[in-house]
Amino acid sequence: MPIEIVPFDPRYLKAVIRFSENTWARPQTEAFYRWRYLECPSQIGLLALEDGECLAMVWAFVQSYQVGPRRLNGLETFDWFCLPELQGSGLGVRVMQAMMNRPEFIIAAGGTADTLKLLPRLKWRPHGELVKFTLPLEGAALSMDFKRRFGLPTSVGKAIFKISMKPWFQARPKLAIEGSDVRVGSDVEPEILQLYASDTGDASVRVPNPRFISWLRSGFPNRVQFLPLYFRIRDALRGWSLTCIYRTSLGWEADIFELFAPHASEDVYTWMVAETVSAISAYRPDRVHAGASVPSLQQALHRNRFIRRRAVPIQTWWTDRADLLRPIHLTNDTGDALLLPVIDKAIS
């Protein structure tokens, strides 16, 4: 039987499970498979099937973006993989080309070395970079790094961090923004969507999907917590942030998934980052992760003493003119970056 490229359907779930278990170290429970493959409200999967077996796949989250005055649908790809014995056969390219035949624009942030080589060959275009940051607050992970690099016992590394580094990393910039207020929300409330209701500034930005975030939160409710914050100036909603807080072998960690305000200056973003970190600090996370593709948010993270770790390229596919997409406002919320803390770290 020839190889077919088909959209995911629940009748293919067993083949997808076998592929997943041979490819990734992920939970192997019925509840996880139901959550990951059947319950997500906004995803597309394309599979290469032969005789009932999955040989390659690519997935994408379907997201809405505010692009200037227009609302457009975009795809954020992830889990693009081909069985090792078939790599180089062109099968992985075939499933991606099938995804590229869809009408939406497509975004990929980073990826494996093979992904970074293949996408330009498929005529994807560079579209800036996503800079990854980390803020160490307790020193456990940093002391493990000291041990790997310098052979220092972790107890010595923690002592060095506590004495000479912790006060500096825990200091937040003090910005006097008249009439400002911050409160914790319970969910993605309807007024948040008003922040995206018209032209949001120089960058295209993804519009939050409350159903998608509810699905993400439902994955591991006992191991992962989400902290939404709402920022107001003179009683008017100015922006919001959403942080995922989860347990690891080193204790709590946090990942700032969303942080956005329309037409925001560097000072506004600096204030929002500082308040977000302060709210997270109640959990005593060992470190806080963040990402930013726009310069104003990158500078705000730097002013809050986040360490720049690396930059990953953003690549896009669109049959229209690439410049119509504008720069894209991305944080740590793109593709499987949303899943990794929930799946990989929350189960460790």
What is the separation of C-alpha 298 from the centre of its chain, rounded to a whole number of angstroms?
16
213 phi/psi in degrees, rounded to 5: -65, -35
Q: Is the pLDDT of residue 172 over 70?
A: yes
Q: Give the residue-averaged pLDDT of 236-257.
A: 90
Banded model confidence at residue 338, pLDDT cuts 50, 70, 90: low
Residue 348: predicted pLDDT: 44
Q: Is the pLDDT of residue 347 over 50?
A: no
Q: Give the residue-averaged pLDDT of 289-298.
A: 96
Tokens of 38: 């059947």
Q: Is the pLDDT of residue 344 over 60?
A: no
Domain 131-345 CATH assignment equals 3.30.70.580: no
Banded model confidence at residue 188, pLDDT cuts 50, 70, 90: confident
> Which range, of 11-15, 135-139, 144-148, averages the lowest pLDDT?
144-148
> Which range, of 2-11, 121-130, 338-347, averages the lowest pLDDT?
338-347
Q: Is the pLDDT of residue 322 over 70?
A: no
Handedness of CA 325, 330, 336, 338 (dihedral sign): negative
Q: Give the residue-averaged pLDDT of 14-34.
A: 90
Show Cβ contacts of residue 325 under 8 Å, excluding neighbours closer than 6 positions.
Answer: 67, 105, 127, 204, 316, 318
Show Cβ contacts of residue 70 under 8 Å, excluding neighbours closer than 6 positions.
Answer: none
Q: Is the pLDDT of residue 123 over 90?
A: yes
Q: Give the residue-averaged pLDDT of 138-162.
A: 76
- Give the fold, CATH level 3, of 4-127: Aminopeptidase (3.40.630)
Residue 84: predicted pLDDT: 87
- Mean pLDDT of all residues in the chain? 89
Q: What is the pTM of this model?
A: 0.90
Q: Give the residue-averaged pLDDT of 28-53.
A: 93
Name the percent of the chain lying above pLDDT 70: 95
Residue 324: predicted pLDDT: 79
Banded model confidence at residue 261, pLDDT cuts 50, 70, 90: very high
Rg over alpha carbons for the chain, rounded to the nearest Å, is: 21
Cβ atoms 206, 212 nearer than 8 A: no
Residue 168: predicted pLDDT: 75
The three state secondary structure string of the chain is: CCCEEEECCHHHHHHHHHHHHHHCCCCCCHHHHHHHHHCCCCEEEEEEEECCEEEEEEEEEEEEEEECCEEEEEEEEEEEEECHHHCCCCHHHHHHHHHHCCCCEEEEECCCHHHHHHHHHCCCEEEEEEEEEEEECCCHHHHHHHHHHHCCCHHHHHHHHHHHHHHHHHCCCCCCCCCEEEEECCCCCHHHHHHHCCCCCCCEEEECCHHHHHHHHHCCCCCEEEEEEEEEECCEEEEEEEEEEEEECCEEEEEEEEEECCCCCHHHHHHHHHHHHHHHHHHCCCEEEEEECCHHHHHHHHHCCCEEEEEEEEEEECCCCHHHHCCEECCCCCHHHHCHHHHHHCCC
List the domain boundaries for the chain: 4-127, 131-345
Quote the CA–CA distance of 265 and 245 in Å, as a whole number. 27
Cβ atoms 142, 159 nearer than 8 A: no
The residue assigned the tokens 């052979």 is 151
Q: Is the pLDDT of residue 198 over 90?
A: no
User: Which has more confidence, 58 or 85?
Assistant: 58
Q: Give the residue-averaged pLDDT of 127-138.
A: 93
Residue 162: predicted pLDDT: 77
Q: Is the pLDDT of residue 346 over 50?
A: no
Residue 101: predicted pLDDT: 96
